[in-house]
Structure 1
Amino acid sequence: MDFWSRILAPLSSGASSKDAARDPARRRQRFEKEYSQLLHIWRNTSNIARDVDAAENLEIRLQELTNILADESRRPLPHPCIAFSAAKQIYVPIAKIATSSYNEWIIKEAVSFFATLIESEEEAFVENDAFSASLTNLLVRITGANSIRLAADTEVRVVELAFNITTKIRLEPHILTAWFKSHQHPGSHDEKFKDERERFAGKTQKQDFPLFYLLMDYIHHEGKVGDFARTGLLYIIESASNSVALEQWIVESDLSTLMATGLGALYSQLSRKLVIDHPPQELPPVLALSDYQHPLSTFEIVSSCSPDFKLHLDTFLAHLLFWQDVLNHCRSTEVKSTLLEHFQVIFLQQLLYPSLLESSDVDGGSSVAVLTYLKRILEALDHPDMINLILHYLLALPDAETSLASHAEPSVSAARKRKSMDLATMMAARVELTFSPLLFNLVDLIQSCLRSKNQQTVCVTLQLLAVILKRHHRYAVITLLQTEAVHGSSSHRTSGAHEQEVEFLTTLAGSIGGQDNFDEIYDNILKDTMARLEGHPCSLKLVAPKVSVNNHKLPAIPDSLPGAPRDVPPHTLSPEDPLLNSLLDLLNTFFINPVETNLSLTETIIDLAVCGYITVEGWLLRHPVKYTYDDDDESVNVPLPDPASPSFAEVEKLQAMTRCRRRPQWQSSTLPRALVVLEKVTDQVASFRGSIPRFEELLQQRREAFQTADTIVSNQPPVRTASKTSTPAQERSSFEDSRATSPSRPGGLEGFAQRLLSELGTPSRSASPRGRKESSRLPNAPTGMPGTPISKPMPVPPKQFPMHHESPTRSGLSRSFSPGSQVQDTLSYGGTEDPVASQMAAFAAVDQSILARKVKLPEQEVEPIPLRFDKKTDDAKELEEQVAEGEIQPRGEVEETPQEGSEAPAPAETPTGTGQKDASVSHILTNVIIFQSFLLELAGLVQVRAGMFGEVRFV
């Protein structure tokens, strides 16, 4: 061959291959040639698994066949290769080659070959019995117990192929007959003597629908494999409404058994003992500025921050949501009833309720664990049947005698009864003792856990209670709460009493003090409260607009199971309700409670009063029957005109309006316990103000610290995902956001000096991690916030803190310097040349010593904190001595969190609840701000309810 022939030969061969691809005849000839070579290699190879060269040649031939078919399907008609595949049924030997090869590469190419035939949508491959039999045999053999272990990408291809088939069955129901072949065995001799467990497990029915069981094997997997398997199974269950035979088969199959036992297995993998914690790098500011201690976790006691625990919990909740999706897609009442029955018997009765019954708060957190799991279950689910099953059983609600009329086929109903009998027989064979919620139910558990000495148990119980009140209030009305009937509009408060009570709550909040834009905060609270009331499930009928004059009824709650509570009647809470009094008992010790407990407590109290059908008079506000007025009120003693006169009705109405505008006498004997406790807790703030030095300044600094931390977090880019631990602080005001990431804080002395320099009017470094000024981002920031211009004059120090020199003017402090460097210079020998910086470092040291002191509630005789502060503290050497003695924390400790650097965290089982008698001043300051926000939320709730539900009488 000469030079030009060698150059032009590849070009001519490339052109000839393209021409062969365009020519249908030449394309078919090439396809038949590749297929013949495939058969020749297969027939001449005794053992493909051991012959590497033959296996490689088979893989190449299969890949070439698949490429030809894929290319032809994109070209215009005719498609002779696809027609040849259908006529010669070449998929039959290809399936045999793949199943006998035990070679993953050949299996992968065979799966791609079948997927290409299905995607071509020609020759009705999916409807062909031979095609379905070959593909089913291939899928069963390569995923069976005796097959080789497939790689992850190969499993994805296999399950995706099965998913594509279910998609076509869903779109074209007549295809089902090619993949599902029901073999009835009624009255057969072998069936009578078959093992009951074997019949219950559905082992005799796998050959009827192998594709169904293939998907069942992968529904617990993560990633694409699990998604394809779960979605394909949903499509099959949805198709049962078009086939009576399939509906009966699903009822008799072990679908419900496998799903219930799988859910139970995932629940059993969850840790029995749990402690709720936050990652140190994501500790919310509201916890960082308190006495929060990270609980200790052991091999037996797992932390909620553990990645393994989060993975197990997410997997369990994902499978639980799959249950919900199955019920949502299922249109067969009999299939749905079978699933729910197995869910109740296998999961609820055998696993969930026994774990609640055996839980305890003295063995390291088992109560915390099971209550957390139940809370997450109720948060994740919204299917009314599943919610009804869980709460109906755990709350020991009475069973309904009536049953829904079934419109299913007689054969399906008979299969449903046989399945129920099999389930009852299997459960009766268990020798374990079973307990009934009639003896100890969820109400007993919640009431006992609210009195626990383990504050984590109390906190999780409050969060569970808030979920039930917020999402499933109709179940709580007749179980958790002791309610009373409401008798007409006479139970509503008058306009004068309403104004008086709202003013009382806002006055309590104002008496706590502080410098902030409270009008704007309260306006935002009103907006949030309105959205919260409108979103409550019980309030739908009260706030929904009437679309028609003749159609005022909304659709009933879509519960298909009997025994579920229906509409919530108008009611009020009994003042003697044990649950209410337990909440008020916790409110009594508000300032020494853990911050998380207080956030959950205030959330629960708000949720208790959100429902539109519950009236707040009698337990939260005064009842109208207890109103007393001044007898000498002349505005209501005006004589009425003659009843026959035309002005009688008008004068009578005016007098009624005047009577409603009167303010009743404020008597302690007529106040409900809730208002008495709120007033008592507010008085404790006044006692703290008198016993703790610089209380007002420290409270304002704490408020500004929250606002600054919130601003920093809100302007940070989302670097990492926030913690999934649910806390009630998500609906608090912005400075209580417990889901945010805790910003990096300077050292103890540096942070205090920085705040004091800002308070004294000295420009300092911004609190932002990047050093940006906050003034441009905080147009409405309150005066004195770090990083904002200070317009107020320098505060005069109290008598306990003499400055020993004249108060410096602002011009004397106008130069900019680093607070940290000033503190460092003060702590070093020879740093006494700047008395102002030395005095400010002394202020910071004294403030930190105040924040670290432990105080008791005022009822326990709070004593004023003694302070040693004289002119000697201006000397840096004296400061170092106090640091060495432990009176002042050294530089580098976390700001205002002395507990993180002093004592080791207590074990998880150590009681830190009602037995705690004192708390640090820093912890109390944080709780004071939370309590002030709670008072504003209560006032906003009372005000919004009055307008939205018409609870105030004007005449």
Structure 2
Amino acid sequence: MDFWSRLIAHTPLSSGSSRKDFAKDPARRLHRFEKEYSQLLQAWRNSSNLATDAEAAEYIEIRLQELTNLLSDESRRPLPHPCISFAAAKQVYIPVAKIATSSFSEWIVKEAVLFFATLIESEEEAFVENDNFSASLTNLLVRITGANSIRLGADTEARVVELAFNITTKIRLAPEILPAWFKSQQNGSQGGRQLLDGREKFTGRTQKQDFPLFYLLIDYIHHEGKVGDFARTGLLYIIEAASSSIALEQWIVESDLSTLMATGLGALYSQLSRKLVIDHPAKDLPPILAFSDYEHPKSNYEIISSTSFEFQSHLDTFLSHLLFWQDVLNHCRSVEVKSTLLEHFQVIFLQQLLYPSLLESSDIDGGSSVAVLTYLRRILESVDHPDMINLILHYLLALPDMVSSIPSDSLDVVSAARKRKSMDLATMMASRGEATADPLLFNLVDLILACLRSQSHQTIFVTLQLISVILKRHHRYAVITLLYTEGVIGESTYRTSGAHLQEVEYLMSLAGTVGGQDNFDEIYDNVLKDTMTRLENHPCSIKLVTPKTSTNNHKLPAIPDSLPGAPRDVRSHTLRPDDPLLNIILDRLQAFFVNPVETNLALTEAIFDLAVCGFMHLEGWFLRHPHTYVYEEDEDGPPLPEPPLDPESPEYAEYQHVQSMQACRRRPKWTQRNLPRLLTILRDLCDQVSAYRETVPRFDDLLQQRREAFQTADSATPAPIVRAKNLTSQPPVISSPAIERTISDDKRNTSRERLTGLEGFAQRILSELGTPSRSGSPRGRKEANRTSSDRSTPVPPYETPVRPSAQGGLAVRSYSPSSASSVSGARVDSKAADAIANQAKAFQAIDQSILARRVGIPVTLAKQEQQQIEPIPFNLQKPQLPVEIPADSSDDTVVGADIGADGQSDSALASEDDAATPIEERAVSVSHVLTNVIVLQSFLFELASLVQVRAGLFEEVRFA
């Protein structure tokens, strides 16, 4: 065999030796690896400056890529792995790190990062435990991410942070490798550190060289996407490892971790807009707002809308970092580290940023109160760590401080380090010379009460939302600060079974006065299920609803508070009727029908949340107090048998028990003066609905149309609603004597066959045209209720607005003219069909005219005795209709605001934040009133279900 034949036979290009066979041979694979490595070193030494020598940089990049591919391929093959062993023995990673740091080429840096990642993933030769390996990799990461480094692309940056995260994962799984990456230099450089002033010690300027990987992750915790996720999770792993290393625990306490996290959170909070208006997207407006007088608030460069993408992005970033704080506390097992973090959170964020923003807020400068109250609500909604909640609410509510008695589980050296850190923090705050406001002078309760008295509906709305969050999630803080409560001892103050049934029937009868034509049993079942879920999920009710499997061994876990001063667990209490918060809310409830729909939703939600807690008793402020029960003298119930002669006998005890049960079944005399203010206001609101029914033309028909429109919108597409509540469906009616009496009275007052004014007018018009009239059943009656003769009667082409359109308005449901123009097989001529179409348009215009009219709070019969107001005729001459309006229609009246011929109030329409308009003079559209009527009826049935569910769930009704 000649020279060329031997050469061809030993090359990878020969047919007998493929590249795949070459990779399987460990010796030949090692030879290839050594060759690529030597070529890499030679190219590096021959190039004076890789930043300017593009050809050499490209060549080195290719060589690095080949080395990485060889290592990656070998790690997937069976032993032996000579290339990985060669890399460890020759410390190949040292020149690779030097080449990458001096190249100023992103492509070389990227390949070097992949090279180190491949060595770590091989899990051989103990690379992560090697000091030289950790030093080389640390130097590489610090240099390529430092201030003077090149700008890395997103992909390369993600690979760098992922590599650092992989190292922290190894440390978490094997804490013994921590010394290779963390080297505390306190002993060696203690003398030099004494020369630093307090501020330099506070900021931890000399700490970075001790644990560079730690600070690399801190630099990326605010980033979006997977870069931020890798950084935050890696930092959590390091903090978790502090529990197994006293040196690391002390180092973290003295480092500037807590300072950087607190100042970073403060910086993100400062990016949030100072002024805010709450709005909803115009293309996705909830139907409940679309069918009201809702107007989009104005925003500008200074006042930001809540729908702004920029605002949502900043708020999401701030909340994500706040949740990172919570994750750090959850993963931290060191009491000293946790205490240091919480102390900086309070001083830097709460005292210096959050509380001053609350204190300086105002509802007259364009929405600063709306902004800060919204931010506080989102904070309390997002955070559930007990120490963070305690710190926030304890400070903002000005609760008294208590001396800490928490035992430390660490050595004295760590406790001393935390004390030094606290002194450094206090020194730095004092050096700023800024006076810190004291919540004892003006706390969160004062701000809430002041904002509830505001004339800005936006301020009222966000304040009520904040109240609901505190009541639902942190009720034990509200009991001792926000609410005026008093303890309840024993069962003597519980309502009796007779009074309970009477009050449930009263709430149901109030809802029944609103009316409706649907069957509400199924809907009420859903309301009961929702109420049951809300009661069971309240944090205070866990002890009341958790099954007690064993009275000896079963013990509910206590709330894991580690900070002093946290409120104790809630005990049985009730709300005092003179509570300021309750009475301000009830003041707002009195103007229910002229309130914005959002305000009413928040009002009803807050009232519901006041009564959700299982330890909150309803007697006195919601329901009648048993001390006010008055019974009729002749209401003794069925006669009891003669009592046994022996008072000590079991028969006598049973006789007393039956006598007590019969006494509890008695129904107290219903007197208005003994009713709580809430029930009185609800009764007045229902009287106002009756007044609207008497004064607004076609009120019941329009209300039914609005209900059907909500149901159609709710079933078509799940549009966002203002609160988690089924407000787009008709509230249910429970069968009870009071309800049956109400319904029967309503049926007696309104005959089933009697038509409304406009329907009678339509029937007369159609009869004159020779067209049979529609069925006499009320509009909205189901087709199944018609007889066979009714079905044979053709329906005229009458268009009814029943369905929300995509633009948030009302679309029309039209009937086919062909089906309406045939009578017993005879066709109506085109002239009559055109006349019918014109009448349909006329009726639609009438309905729209009624819906657009503006009304105020009606004067009920009780108020008419005090002040006589002449009814104002409802002008149906605008807009001009193609038919003549009968004279009897002009008798309909609307009591309230002064109505002009153009359908607008004579005075200028008050804006949502107009403080000069009294409640009695506010004017809203009839369409707005209809929506609020449905909200009120839904609220009444929610209250009825609340009373009913509480009676069984919390056993708060006396039967004996």
State how 1:45-56 maps to structure 2 within 5 Å: 45-56=47-58
User: Who is 1:527 aligned against?
Assistant: 529
Question: Could you report, residue by residue, the CA deviation over 1:466-497 in whole angstroms, capped at 9, with x for unpaired residues?
Answer: 00000000000000000011131000000000
Equivalent runs, 1:418-457 vs 2, <5 Å: 418-457=420-459
User: Aligned-pair distance for 1:942?
Assistant: 0.4
How many residue pairs are counted as aligned between the two chains?
Answer: 863
Identify the residue that residue 855 of structure 2 maps to in structure 1. Answer: 855
Q: Taking structure 1 as reference, are residues 327 and 445 closer, same or farther at Cα in structure 2, changes over 3 Å only?
A: same
Q: Which residue of 1 aligns with 2:673?
A: 669
In structure 2, do the counterparts of structure 1 residues 334 and 88 end up closer, same or farther at CA, with 3 Å as the change threshold? Answer: same
- Distance, in Å, in 2 between the alignment partners of 1:912 and 1:127 is 75
Of 862, 866, 873, which aligns to 2:874? 866
Partner of 2:725: 731
Relative to structure 1, the CA distance from residue 561 to residue 34 in structure 2 (aligned partners, 3 Å threshold; closer, same or farther) is: same
Measured after TM superposition, the shift of residue 397 of structure 1 is 0.6
| Structure-1 separation of matches of 2:255 and 2:245 | 15
- Superposed, 1:798-837 pairs within 5 Å as 798=758, 801=761, 803-806=764-767, 808-809=773-774, 811=792, 813=794, 833-837=833-837
Q: How much has 1:808 moved relative to structure 2?
A: 1.4
Q: What is the alpha-carbon distance in structure 2 between the residues aligned to residue 661 and residue 907 of structure 1? A: 49
**Mapped contact 1:573–1:614 kept (Cα < 8 A):** yes
Three-state SS of the structure 2 residue aligned to 1:555 is: coil
Deviations 1:517-550 (A, max 9, x none): 2222222111111111110000000010112131
Separation of aligned partners in 2, 1:158 and 1:607: 49
Return closer, same or farther for 1:822/1:413 CA change in 2, 3 Å cut-off.
Answer: closer
Alpha carbons of structure 1 residues 52 and 865: separation in structure 2 relative to 1, 3 Å: farther
**CA drift at 1:20:** 1.8
Task: Tell me if 1:192 matches 2:194.
Answer: yes
Structure 1: distance between partners of 2:489 and 2:913? 48
Q: How does 1:568-607 map to 2 (within 5 A)?
A: 568-607=570-609
Question: Distance in 1 between the 2:702 and 2:491 partners?
Answer: 47
Determine the structure 1 residue equivalent to 2:130.
128
Residue 266 of structure 2 is aligned to residue 241 of structure 1: no
How far apart are the structure 2 equivalents of 1:872 and 1:220? 63
Q: 1:698 aligns with which of 698, 702, 722?
A: 702
Deviation string 1:95-116 (CA, Å, 9 cap, x unpaired) is 0000000000000000000000
Instruction: Tell me, in whole angstroms, the C-alpha distance in 1 between the residues paired with 2:693 and 2:920.
Output: 24
Structure 1 CA distance, aligned partners of 2:268 and 2:873?
A: 54
Q: Residues 382-397 of structure 1: matches in 2 within 5 Å?
A: 382-397=384-399
Letter in 1 for 2:238: I
- Other-structure match for 2:409: 407
**Cα distance in 1, alignment partners of residues 727 and 878 from structure 2:** 40
2:911 & 2:681 partners in 1: Cα distance? 30
Partner Cα distance (1:365, 1:283) in 2: 21
Amino acid in the other structure paired with 2:85: A
Structure 2: distance between partners of 1:678 and 1:297:
36
Distance in structure 1 (CA, Å) of the matches to 2:912 and 2:922: 18
Bigger CA drift: 10-19 or 700-709? 10-19
Aligned AA (1:842): A
Query: 1-side partners of 2:674 and 2:913: how far apart?
Result: 43
Give 1:429 deviation, angstroms: 1.1
User: Would the alpha carbon gap of residues 817 and 556 (structure 1) be closer, same or farther in structure 2, given more than 3 Å must change?
Assistant: closer
8 Å CA contact 1:240–1:247 kept in 2: the answer is yes
Name the structure 1 match of 2:827: none
CA 1:520–1:823: 2 relative to 1, 3 Å: closer
TM-score, structure 1 as length reference: 0.86
1:178 corresponding residue in structure 2: 180
Kept in 1, the 8 Å contact 2:910–2:917? The answer is: no
Structure 2 residue 622 is the aligned partner of structure 1 residue 620: yes
Distance in 2, Cα, partners of 1:10 & 1:129: 39
More displaced, 668-677 or 367-376?
668-677
Contact 1:823 1:838 in 2 (8 A): no
1:637 shift after superposition: 7.8
Residue 803 of structure 2: aligned partner: none
1:795: Cα distance to partner? Answer: 4.8
- Does the aligned pair in 2 maintain the 1:822–1:837 contact within 8 Å? no
Q: Deviation string for 1:887-914 (max 9, x for gaps)?
A: xxxxxxxxxxx99xxx999697888995
Distance 2:512 2:813 in 1: 38
2:486 partner SS: strand
For 1:333, which of 332, 335, 340 is the aligned residue?
335
Q: Which residue is 1:305 aligned to?
A: 307
Q: Quote how far apart the aligned CAs of 1:642 are.
A: 2.1
Partner of 1:893: none
Alpha-carbon distance between aligned partners in 1 of 2:708 and 2:951, rounded to the nearest angstrom: 33
Cα 1:402/1:216, change in 2 over 3 Å: closer
CA distance in 2, matches of 1:422, 1:212: 22
Amino acid aligned to 2:936:
F
Please state if 1:492 is matched with 2:494. Answer: yes
The one-letter code sitting in structure 2 at the alignment partner of 1:837 is A
Q: Does 1:711 align with 2:705?
A: no
Tell me which moved more, 474-483 or 421-430.
Answer: 421-430
CA–CA distance in structure 2, aligned partners of residues 72 and 390 of structure 1: 55
1:471 aligns with one of 470, 473, 477: 473
Q: Which residue of 2 aligns with 1:930?
A: 935
Q: Equivalent residue of 1:207, what SS?
A: coil
Q: Does 1:840 align with 2:840?
A: yes
Q: Structure 2 residue aligned with 1:687, among 685, 688, 691?
A: 691
Match for residue 645 of structure 2? 642
CA distance in 1, matches of 2:290, 2:16: 71
Q: Which residue of 2 aligns with 1:142?
A: 144
Matched residue type, 1:732: N
Q: What is the rounded CA distance, in whole Å, between the counterparts of 2:918 and 2:458 in structure 1?
A: 8
Q: Which residue of 1 aligns with 2:946?
A: 941
Residues 863 and 190 of structure 1: is their aligned pair in 2 closer, same or farther, counting only changes over 3 Å?
A: farther
Q: Please, which runs of 5 or more residues in structure 1 have no aligned partner?
A: 715-721, 738-791, 880-897
Please tell me the root mean square deviation across aligned C-alpha atoms, in Å.
Answer: 3.0
Letter in 1 for 2:717: V
> Do the aligned partners of residues 40 and 9 (structure 1) sit closer, same or farther apart at CA in structure 2, a change above 3 Å counting?
closer
Contact 1:496 1:664 in 2 (8 A): yes
Structure 2 counterpart SS, 1:59: helix
Cα 1:120–1:916 shift into 2, 3 Å: farther
Contact kept in structure 1, 2:698 and 2:756, CA below 8 Å: no
Is the 2:451–2:460 contact (alpha carbons within 8 Å) kept by the matching residues of 1? yes
| Superposition deviation, residue 652 in structure 1 | 1.7
Task: Work out the CA distance in 1 between the residues paired with 2:213 and 2:878.
Answer: 85
- Name the amino acid aligned to 2:556: L
Q: State how far apart, in whole Å, the 2-side matches of 1:536 and 1:634 are.
A: 40
Match of 2:655 in 1: 651
Give distance in 2, aligned partners of 1:843 and 1:244: 83
Distance in 2 (alpha carbons) for counterparts of 1:490 and 1:204: 68
- Structure 2 residue 62 is the aligned partner of structure 1 residue 60: yes
State the shift of 1:875 in Å: 4.7
**Aligned pair in 2 of structure 1 residues 138, 653: CA closer, same or farther (>3 Å)?**
same
647-656 or 359-368: which moved more? 647-656
Check conservation: 1:855, 1:862, Cα contact below 8 A. no
Identity %: 66
The partner residue of 1:918 within 917, 920, 923 is: 923
Which amino acid in 2 is paired with 1:62? Answer: L
The higher-RCO structure (CA 8 Å, 6+ apart) is 1
CA contact 1:297–1:908 (8 Å) conserved in 2: no
- Alpha-carbon contact 1:260-1:343 (below 8 Å) kept: yes
Secondary structure of 1:847's counterpart equals helix
The two structures have a TM-score, normalised by structure 2, of 0.86
CA distance in 2, matches of 1:210, 1:165: 12
Is the Cα–Cα contact under 8 Å of residues 251 and 335 in structure 1 kept in the other structure?
Answer: yes
Q: Which residue of 2 aligns with 1:504?
A: 506
- Tell me, in whole angstroms, the C-alpha distance in 1 between the residues paired with 2:923 and 2:756: 31
Shift of residue 379, structure 1, vs aligned partner: 0.4
Deviations 1:691-740 (A, max 9, x none): 111111111110010001101114xxxxxxx76xx83x212345399xxx
